[in-house]
Amino acid sequence: MRVTTQGIDVNVLSQAEVVHALAEAPGNHVAFVGAGVSKEAGVPLAGEISQDIREKFLSTSPVPDPDAWARQYLKWDDLRVRYRTCVERYGSAEDRVTYFRQLLSGKRPAFAHHALAMLMADGVLYGTALTTNFDKLLEHAFTEQGFKECQAIRAAEEIEFWNQEQDRNYVFKLHGDYDTHNILNTRMETYSINEYFVEPSRSLFRGRGLLIIGSAGNEDSVVDFIKRIVVSDDRRVLSRGVRWGVYVGEHMPPGISDEASAELVRDAVQDGAVNRQMVELLADANDRFRDRRPCSVFPVWGTGNFFLRLIDALDRPWLKRTAQLFLDHEMRLRSTFSAQGLSEAAIERHLSRLRQARRINGSVSGVEQPPKVAVTAVSPADGVEVRLVYGDISSSAMMTAPEFSGRIRAVVSPEDTSVSAGGGVAYTLLSRAGPRFVLNELAKFAPVGHGTSVATSAGDLPVHYIFHAAALKIEEPRGDYLVDHDSIRATVNDVLAKADALGVAVIWVPLLGAGVGPVPPEHSFEAIMDAIFGASPARRPRVIMVVVYEEDILNRYDAAKVLRSRLPHDAVKVTAGS
C-alpha cells in the first residue's frame, strides 16, 4: 500500500505482512535496533537524556534566559545535533561513562531484548544484530537465558572475532557502549559510524533483509551508514529489502484494518517518527530497485508486542513456552487474560485497577518496619493460635521470626481465577519470590476454579510454599468482580486443606477480595475467621497470622470483636496500640 507523507510516496506494509515475511524466511533478516527498544526497559530516550543534562547544568549554574542559553550552548533547536552536543558538553569521557552507568543502574532487559535474543538464538532472525544503543541489555538477555553466548563487537580489534564461532551470537555496537568511552556522538570519531563496520555490514546483508525497529534514524551517523548500505551496487546486498518499524501506539486496536494501520503510520511519519532523509531514502530505493530491494515501513505497537506476535506465528513450541517466562508484567497479564477469553474491555478495566494497586504499593517507602501483633486468639479446643498482625506480608522480618524456625511455613497470595499475580500483595510476593521461577509453576495450573487455591514453591521468599488463593473472579462483559463472603470462605477452606496435606505449621494470610476487589476489610476478615474456625482441627496450621498493612485498614478492636463472636471472651487478647 502506498501513502504520501512529508510529501513523499512511501510503501506501507501491514504488521501481519512483515510477520509473515520473517516467519517464512528464518535466518534471512538482520535486526537493527534503536533506543525505542531499550525505552521499554526504562532507559531514557535521547531527548529525555538531553533534558536531564540541561536541567543538571541549570541547577548548578542558573542563567537569566535558560532557553537562549540552551539554544546557543546546547544547540537546542537543532534536533540533529542536540543530543550529541548535550553529551559532549557534559564533561570528560570518564564523566560521561559515570553518567551513563548511573543512568543504567538497576535496568534489566525488557521482553523486547529477551525476545530478540531468543529469535536470534533459535535462528528466526540472523545471528548477528546491529544497534546504536550504548547499553548492554541485549547481551544481558542472552546471559540471563543461558541458551547461547552473545559477543559484542564494538571496536576494530574485535571485528576479527566476528562469526568465528557458529554457536555464538553477535551484536555490532555501532556507537560502542559506555565502557568504550565513545558513547554516541561524544567524540569526533563517532560523528559517523566507524569505517570498520561498513564492509562487514555489507557482507552481513548479502542475500538478506534488514529489520529496523525502535529507531527514528535521526542521527547523521545512522543516516550515512544506512544510506551506504541501501544504495550499494551489489545486487545481493539487501536482496530481501528493508522493513522499517514505525511506533504508532502502545496497544494494537482490536480488529484494526490495514488501511487504518497505514493511516497511523502516515501520521506518525508526518510527525517525525522516522527521519525525513530516511523516508526519502526508502522511497527512492524502493522505486529504484523495486522487487530486487523492496523498502517499506510498517506499524509497531511496542517492540515487545511485535516480537511476541512473531513468536506466536511460528511453529516453535519451545519459543512460545520460553517467551511466556520473560514477558513484561503487563504483557503477561494481557496474554493470560486474553488466552482465557476475557474481552478487551474487561481486560483493560482490570489492568487499570491493578496499575492503581501497584502505584499505591510503590508509594510506600522507607525502612522496613518490624511486624506488630495487635490481636492474639487461641482456640481452647485445640490450641490453634490466630494473630492479627500489622505490617508487610512479604517482608523478611515477617517470615523469619526465630519462633518459627524449623517449622514448615507458607504465605497466601490473593488471586483471581487466572492466578495472574497482577497487583497489590500478589504482585509484591511474586516480585520478591522471583517472577520467572514462580510463573513457570503457575503456568501449569491456570486457570483455576473460583474459590480454590494452588500451591507452588516460594522461590526466594523465606518460606516453603505460596498458596495462590483465587477468591476473586473477573466477569464479562465489563470486568466486574465476583467475590463475596462465600467465595472467600471457600478459598480459605481450600488453602487450609492443602496446608494440612503439606504439613504446614505456620501460615500468613492477607485480607482477600479487599484490595482491587470490593469487599470491605472487616467483612473479608469475618469470612477468613469463619473458614478457620469452621475447619476441622486437623486441617488447621498451629499458627495462622492474618496480615494487614496498617491499622487504618482494619482496626484491632473491630477484629477482636469478630474473634470474640467465635471464641470465648478470655481467649482473645488485644495489644494496646502505640
Q: What is the DSSP string of 220-272?
A: HHHHHHHHHHHT-S-TTBTTT-EEEEEE--SSPPTT--HHHHHHHHHHHHHTT
Q: Which three cell numbers stand for residue 78?
A: 537543532
Same structural domain, 39 and 60: no
- Is 473 in the same domain as 536? yes
Q: Which of residues 264, 296, 327 is at a domain's end?
A: 327
79, 88, 89, 92 from 85: Cα distances, Å: 10, 5, 6, 13
In which residue are the cell numbers 529496523 written?
212
Answer for the pair 36, 306: CB distance below 8 angstroms, yes or no: no
The verdict on residue 363 lying in a domain is no
Tell me if residue 458 falls in helix, strand or coil. coil
Alpha carbon separation from 290 to 12, 28, 241, 245, 526 (Å, rounded): 14, 19, 9, 19, 72
Amino acid at 362: G
Residue 338 lies in a domain: no
Given a contact cutoff of 8 angstroms between Cβ atoms, the answer to whether 372 and 550 are in contact is: no
Per-residue model confidence (pLDDT) at position 192? 60
137 three-class SS: helix
From residue 15, how far is each of 117, 297, 362, 396, 406 by CA, in Å?
20, 10, 36, 46, 56
d(CA 42, CA 171): 21
Q: Is residue 344 part of a domain?
A: no
Write the CATH number for 215: 3.40.50.1220
- 477 CA to centre of own chain: 27
What is the spatial distance between Cα 326 and Cα 205, in angstroms, rounded to a whole number? 29
Whether the CB-CB separation of 41 and 138 falls below 8 Å is answered with no
Asked which of 327, 356, 381 is the last residue of a domain, the reply is 327
Residue with cell 536470534: 120
Structural domain contains residue 354: no
Per-residue pLDDT for the chain (578 aa), expressed as one digit of tens each?
Answer: 888 887 888 899 999 999 999 999 999 999 999 999 999 999 998 889 999 999 999 999 999 999 999 999 999 998 778 888 898 899 887 888 888 889 888 889 999 999 999 999 999 999 999 998 989 999 999 999 988 999 999 888 888 888 877 789 999 998 888 766 555 434 443 456 778 888 888 889 999 999 999 999 887 788 888 988 888 888 899 999 999 999 999 888 888 999 999 999 999 999 989 989 999 998 888 888 777 889 999 999 999 999 999 999 999 998 998 898 888 878 888 888 887 788 888 888 888 888 776 655 544 444 566 889 999 999 988 888 999 999 999 888 888 888 898 899 999 999 989 888 877 888 889 889 887 778 878 878 878 899 999 999 998 999 999 999 999 998 887 788 899 999 999 999 999 999 999 999 999 999 999 888 899 999 999 999 999 998 777 777 789 999 999 999 999 999 999 999 999 999 999 998 65
Whether 34 and 79 map to the same domain: the answer is no
Give alpha helix (H) positions in 271-302: 276-289
Same domain? For 148 and 293 the reply is yes
Surface-to-core class of residue 5, CB atoms within 10 Å of its CB (0-12 exposed, 13-18 middle, 19+ buried): buried
Residue 228 within any structural domain of the chain: yes
* Residues 38 and 53 reside in one and the same domain: no
Domain count, the chain: 3
- Judge contact between 119 and 309, C-beta under 8 A: no
Residues 75 and 29 in one domain: no
- For helices 82-90 and 93-104, what crossing angle results, to 10°? 110
Peptide bond into 435 cis (omega under 30): no
Cβ contacts of residue 551 below 8 Å, gap of 6+? 374, 390, 577
Residue 279 and residue 424 share a domain: no
Residue 201 lies in a domain: yes
**Three-state DSSP class for residue 561:** helix
My answer on whether 68 and 191 are in the same domain is no
Please classify residue 519 by burial: count the beta carbons closer than 10 Å to its beta carbon, then call 0-12 exposed, 13-18 middle and 19+ buried.
buried
How do 29-33 and 209-213 pair as beta strands?
parallel
Question: How much is the pLDDT for 356?
Answer: 75
**Rg of the chain (C-alpha set):** 28
| Domain containing residue 197 | 2-43+107-327
Among candidate residues 273, 296, 327, the one where a domain is terminated: 327
DSSP string, 328-355: -HHHHHHHHHHHTT--HHHHHHHHHHHH
Interhelix angle 435-442/317-326, rounded to 10 degrees, is: 130
Cβ–Cβ under 8 Å, residues 331 and 304? yes
Please check whether residues 11 and 54 belong to one and the same domain.
no
pLDDT recorded at residue 185:
39
DSSP classification of residue 147: S
Residue 365 lies in a domain: no
Q: Is this model's pTM higher than 0.75 or not?
A: yes
Grouping H, G, I as helix, E, B as strand and the rest as coil, residue 10 is: strand
Cell of 71: 539554544
- Within a domain: residue 132? yes
Same domain for 138 and 56? no
Residues 70, 165 contacting (CB under 8 angstroms): no
Strand, helix or coil at 425? helix
Q: How far is CA 391 from CA 145, 395, 519, 571, 576, in A?
A: 35, 8, 20, 23, 16
What is the Cα–Cα distance from 300 to 304, expressed in whole angstroms? 9
CATH of the domain at 526: 3.40.220.10
Verify that 80 and 153 share a domain, yes or no. Answer: no
Residues 97 and 190 in one domain: no
d(CA 247, CA 366): 38
